């Protein structure tokens, strides 16, 4: 007998009518995933600190046929995370997927960097995702709902760097740990938790590597020299992985750090 999935594997990637909460939706990855999900018929709850930038992404998503609501907040507190969840429930009745694409880097060598700057990186990359997972995961567990969490790690969660990444590398290693532990704890509830770990992709976050900044140029060149596919990433390069991790296709995949890096971590 040939099963339904083998007859129609495309159904594994069906997210139509599902609702995604996306933080960092004004950023490169957040916008890219939002527009791809919009094209697949998902509803969107878009969050970031900038209403103006959210409005622009929302207009693009609506032009692709999506229903969208925006909330101009970063996940700085548990109340912020709860407000994003409440918005999803108010507008769409629930939430099925969460993409934490908010994140930040402030490079600085530990000899020079202030504690406050280091902490700002940890807050954006670890504390915010923790608040979001706490709010949304608690809701799914209480309501006996399944869900999919996608966190953004980095190859820097696994590799060190030469460019003052004492905050960033530590924060992404913490992301990897959070991904694995929540995946283990939540598997019994039908909640998957995975992370994408990109190499250098072009975005606002990496703009400093594409301009005149000497350390930035060295950082980009060093990454590029180690990438077997011979180029850095563009947002389109991670959409396939994101859709896989947010769709029924990945039901048996959890706690994984998925390297989308042109082979960087293989070399
Ligand atoms: N691009 C890369 O090469 C690369 C590689 C590996 C991993 N990543 C990770 O991928 C995620 C998305 O990065 P991206 O490249 O899309 O960057 P991006 O274009 O700069 O977008 C980052 C998003 O995060 C929000 N944000 C900025 N500072 C924040 C803060 N302090 N607290 C909370 N939110 C903040 C920004 O929105 P508002 O300022 O409007 O709030 C923006 O929407 C990040 O976690 C990043 O570490 C990126």
Tell me: the pLDDT tens digits for 203-257? Answer: 999 999 998 889 889 989 998 999 999 999 999 999 999 999 999 999 999 999 9
CA nearest neighbour of 256 among 173, 199, 197, 185: 197
If you ran DSSP here, which 8-state letter would residue 126 be given?
I
CATH for 9-260 (3.40.50.2000, 3.40.50.720, 3.30.70.260, 3.40.640.10): 3.40.50.720
Give phi and psi for 96, each to the nearest 5. Answer: -110, -30
Identify the pLDDT of residue 82.
98
Within the chain, which residues score under 70 in pLDDT? none
Which residue numbers are catalytic?
A: 168
Q: For residue 240, give every residue at least 6 positions away whose Cβ sits within 8 Å of its Cβ, in sequence order, or none.
A: none
Q: Is 196 in the pocket of ligand 1 (CB under 6 A)?
A: no
Handedness of CA 191, 79, 143, 30 (dihedral sign): negative
Sheet holding 68-71, edge to edge: 68-71, 43-47, 19-23, 97-100, 147-152, 191-198, 257-260
Identify the pLDDT of residue 85.
98
Identify the pLDDT of residue 215.
87
Centre of ligand 1 to C-alpha 118, Å, is 16
What number of CA atoms fall less than 13 Å from residue 176's CA on the CB side? 16
Pull the structure tokens for residue 127.
């504390």
Q: Where are the domains of the chain?
A: 9-260
Q: Is 167 in the pocket of ligand 1 (CB under 6 A)?
A: no
Identify the pLDDT of residue 254.
98
Identify the pLDDT of residue 52.
98
Mutation test residue for ligand 1: of 81, 102, 245, 265, the one with most atoms within 8 Å of CB: 102
Q: For residue 55, give every residue at least 6 positions away whose Cβ sits within 8 Å of its Cβ, in sequence order, or none.
A: 70
Identify the pLDDT of residue 67.
98
Torsion angle of C-alpha atoms 182, 50, 117, 209, degrees rounded to 10 = 90
Centre of ligand 1 to C-alpha 6, Å, is 38
Centre of ligand 1 to C-alpha 211, Å, is 18
Pull the structure tokens for residue 68.
């969208």
| 41 CB-contact burial (10 Å; exposed 0-12 / middle 13-18 / buried 19+) | middle
Under DSSP, is residue 38 helix (H, G, I), strand (E, B) or coil? helix
Q: Is 104 in the pocket of ligand 1 (CB under 6 A)?
A: yes
Centre of ligand 1 to C-alpha 204, Å, is 8
Identify the pLDDT of residue 125.
98
Mutation test residue for ligand 1: of 29, 198, 208, the one with most atoms within 8 Å of CB: 29
Strand partners, 197: 259
Identify the pLDDT of residue 219.
87
Instruction: Provide the pairing of β-strand 68-71 with 43-47.
Output: parallel
Question: Does pTM surpass 0.95?
Answer: yes
CA nearest neighbour of 94 among 56, 148, 55, 131: 148
Q: Is 28 in the pocket of ligand 1 (CB under 6 A)?
A: yes
């Amino acid at each position: 007998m040939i099963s339904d999935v083998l007859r129609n594997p495309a159904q594994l990637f069906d997210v139509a009518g599902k609702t995604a909460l996306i933080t960092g939706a004004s950023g490169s990855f957040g916008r890219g995933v939002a527009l791809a999900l919009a094209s697949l018929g998902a509803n969107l709850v878009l969050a970031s600190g900038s209403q103006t930038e959210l409005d622009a992404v929302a207009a693009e998503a609506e032009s692709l046929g999506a229903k969208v609501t925006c909330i101009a907040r970063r996940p700085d507190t548990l109340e912020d995370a709860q407000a994003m969840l409440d918005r999803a429930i108010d507008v769409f009745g629930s939430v099925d997927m969460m993409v934490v694409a908010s994140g930040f880097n402030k490079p600085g060598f530990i000899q020079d960097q202030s504690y406050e700057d280091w902490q700002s990186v940890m807050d954006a990359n670890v504390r915010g995702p923790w608040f979001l997972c706490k709010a949304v995961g608690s809701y799914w567990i209480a309501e006996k709902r399944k869900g999919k969490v996608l966190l953004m790690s980095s190859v820097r969660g696994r590799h060190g760097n030469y460019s003052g990444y004492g905050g960033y590398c530590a924060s992404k290693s913490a992301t990897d740990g959070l991904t694995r532990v929540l995946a283990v704890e939540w598997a019994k509830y039908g909640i998957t938790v995975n992370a994408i770990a990109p190499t250098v992709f072009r975005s606002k976050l990496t703009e400093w590597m594409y301009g005149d900044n000497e350390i930035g140029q060295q950082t980009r060149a060093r990454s590029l020299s180690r990438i077997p596919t011979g180029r850095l990433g563009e947002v389109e390069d991670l959409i396939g992985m994101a859709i896989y991790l947010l769709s029924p296709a990945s039901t048996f995949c959890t706690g994984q750090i998925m390297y989308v890096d042109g082979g960087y971590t293989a070399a």
